[in-house]
Amino acid sequence: MKFIALVIFLLPLAVAGQSKTDYENAMTKFQKFYNAGLGDSINAMFGYSPDDFKPTKPLWTNEGNASALKEFGTLKSFKYIGIDKSDTYDVYVFVTIFSKAGAKTTSLTLNKNYSLGTFRFITTSDGINDLLKKQNSSR
C-alpha cells in the first residue's frame, strides 16, 4: 500500500520533468528553422514571459541566420552527447554537424513550458570537453 501511495505521489513529478526527447525535439525544430533561414522563428522559440529577462534586441534574426548559414553551412545532423553539469544549469549538449564548418557543439536549456531558456549555437566548456572525451572513448 505504501508503494502505491509513493508511486501516485511521484508520478506527477516524473511526468512534469523534461526528457532527452524534449531536448532532441527542440533541436529538430531549431534545425528546421535554421536551415530554412527563419531566424525570427528561432527567436520565437524562446517564448519569453513578462517575468523573464528579455534582451533589448532579438537573439536571432533572418539576417543573422543568413550570415550563420554562409559561415557554417546547413545543419546536417545532431547527436545528443550528455548534460554539462559544470554549468550553473544542467545544459543539454549536442554534437552538431554543419555542411561547411564540420563538427561543433551546441547546447541548450528548456524552460518549464518547453521554450528555449538558453541556446549556445557554438559552445565549449570543460564539462563539454569531458562529454566529448567520453563519447570518443566509447567508440
User: Does some domain include residue 126?
Assistant: yes
Q: What is the DSSP string of 80-118?
A: EEEEETTSSS-EEEEEEEETTTEEEEEEEEE-TTSSEEE
User: Does some domain include residue 12?
Assistant: no
Tell me the pTM: 0.81
Q: Give me the domain span that covers residue 95.
A: 21-137
User: Does some domain include residue 5?
Assistant: no
Counted domains in the chain: 1
Task: Going residue by residue through the chain, which has 139 residues, state the pLDDT in tens, using 9 for 90 and above.
Answer: 443 433 344 433 333 468 999 999 999 999 999 999 999 999 999 976 656 566 678 889 999 999 999 999 999 999 999 999 888 888 999 999 999 999 999 999 999 899 999 999 999 888 888 888 888 877 6
User: Does some domain include residue 42?
Assistant: yes
Close Cβ partners of 103 (under 8 Å, ≥ 6 residues apart): 95, 96, 97
CATH number at residue 56: 3.10.450
